[in-house]
Amino acid sequence: MSLHVVLVHPEIHWNTGNAGRTCLATGATLHLIEPLGFSLDEREVRRAGLDYWEHVDVRVWPDWASFEAVLPTLGEPFFFSTRATRLFWDAPLGEPDDVVLIFGRETGGLPDSLHERWADRFLAMPIVSPLVRSLNLSTSVAVAVYERLRQHRR
């Protein structure tokens, strides 16, 4: 079983750091699609308190096209968006052996072009309160990763 978490144009290093911690804890690979809203240099990573970062299996891609070219070799993709109508609970996250969970940037989510091209692969997390537009990126990553693990347990 392989699990990949993809952050497309993440803007906040603390969210990326928390997603990295979740990936490390669960054996997932973290993919970051540039541009990033922060630096990954050693000083910035240390300042964010990411003392475990060196252990995270992280891969940085220069753009979506470069990543999308290898996506079919990584596993079945699932995109997360507040605009999706299908709940992630209803998706077969546990059935394929290899899964790729894809998330957009904090302030704008995933680009419209991905919504159009991958429409049938988009999932939402339920939000009950009308006062909440979305969940924090790192929270969403953790919820999705652990739902994948829950569904895949044998």
Interval 55-95: pLDDT, tens: 999 999 999 999 999 999 999 999 999 999 999 999 999 88
pLDDT at 49: 54
Confidence (pLDDT) at 152: 87
**Considering the entire predicted model, what is its pTM?**
0.94
* Alpha carbon distance 89, 107 (integer Å): 24
What pLDDT, on the 0 to 100 scale, is given for residue 116? 96
What is the per-residue DSSP string for 67-109?
HHHHHHHH-EEEEE-TT-SSBGGGS-TTSSSEEEEEE-BTTTB
Domains and CATH numbers, the chain: 31-152 (3.40.1280.10)
Ordered per-residue pLDDT tens for the chain, 154 residues = 899 999 999 999 889 989 999 999 999 999 999 999 988 876 666 566 577 888 999 999 999 999 999 999 999 999 999 999 999 999 999 888 999 999 999 999 999 999 999 999 999 999 999 999 999 999 999 999 999 999 988 5
